[in-house]
Amino acid sequence: MAIEFYRKMSDNDVNAIVAYLRSVKPIRNQVEKSTYKIPLPEAYGPPVTKVPDPPRGNKVMYGRYLADIGHCMECHTPMAKGQLDMTRVGAGGRELPAIPGGVVVTPNLTPANPDGISHWTNAQVKDSITKGVRPDGRALVRLMAFDWYKNIEGRDLDALVAYLRTLKAAKP
């Protein structure tokens, strides 16, 4: 669970998600109890009190909010000492289980990537997020959640791309 990112979700958005979850039809499914192979942190930070609505008027700040609640940077940020290294946010390099099998390395979204999105047009970046295709025609592995991101509306997608364009050059 991307709790570090979801902590920033506004009260109104989290309430909307809860309302949606309550509307999901019951489906019986026997699920085994989880066993944890990693130590769990004592806390994910101080208790969250009130989180206001994101600043829609500020394109970059709003795009950052969307990237947070879309937990984009959880996959696209390298780890250091068992934690996301937020000094290199967006630099990629994480080895993750690909769908349907194997391993996929997350691309570097910062300008330090010579083949990366800083050399793509806005339309090309949007197509990779919502359709899972790169400018060279290669399809992205389904772990990148383009099947879900395809419904991001135009204004939100513009904000998301505006935020991605502000990432500082960093190596994975």
Q: Does 149 bind ligand HEC (CB under 6 A)?
A: yes
**Given the complex with ligand HEC, which of 61 and 75 has the nearer CB atom?**
75
Nearer to ligand HEC, 46 or 58 (CB): 58
Residues contacting ligand HEC: total by CB under 6 A: 25
The CA–CA distances, whole Å, from 107 to 1, 30, 51, 118 equal: 21, 36, 31, 12
Rounded Cα gap, residues 94 and 152, in angstroms: 25
| Residue 172 near ligand HEC by CB under 6 A | no
Query: Does 72 help bind ligand HEC (rule: CB under 6 A)?
Result: yes
Nearest CA among 131, 126, 88, 81 for reference residue 106:
88
Residue 99 has phi, psi (to 5 degrees) of -110, 125
φ, ψ dihedrals at 157, nearest 5°: -65, -40
- Give yes or no for residue 103 binding ligand HEC (CB under 6 A): no
Binding mask 2-41 for ligand HEC (x = CB under 6 A): ----------------------------------------
Using the contact rule CB under 6 A, the part of the chain among 27-35, 57-65, 68-76, 77-85 near ligand HEC is: 68-76
- Using CB under 6 A, which of 61, 145, 162, 169 touches ligand HEC? 145
For residues 149 and 6, give the distance between their C-alpha atoms in angstroms, rounded to a whole number: 17
* Residue 19, both tokens: 């309302």
Return the range that interacts with ligand HEC (CB under 6 A); candidates 7-15, 20-28, 45-53, 65-73: 65-73
Query: Which phi and psi (to 5°) does residue 91 adopt?
Result: -80, -5
At its nearest, how many Å lie between ligand HEC and the CB of residue 28?
28
**Cα–Cα distance list, 32 to 3, 25, 35 (Å):** 22, 21, 9
Exactly one of 129, 157, 167, 170 binds ligand HEC (CB under 6 A); which one?
129
The answer to whether residue 62 forms part of the interface with ligand HEC (CB under 6 A) is no
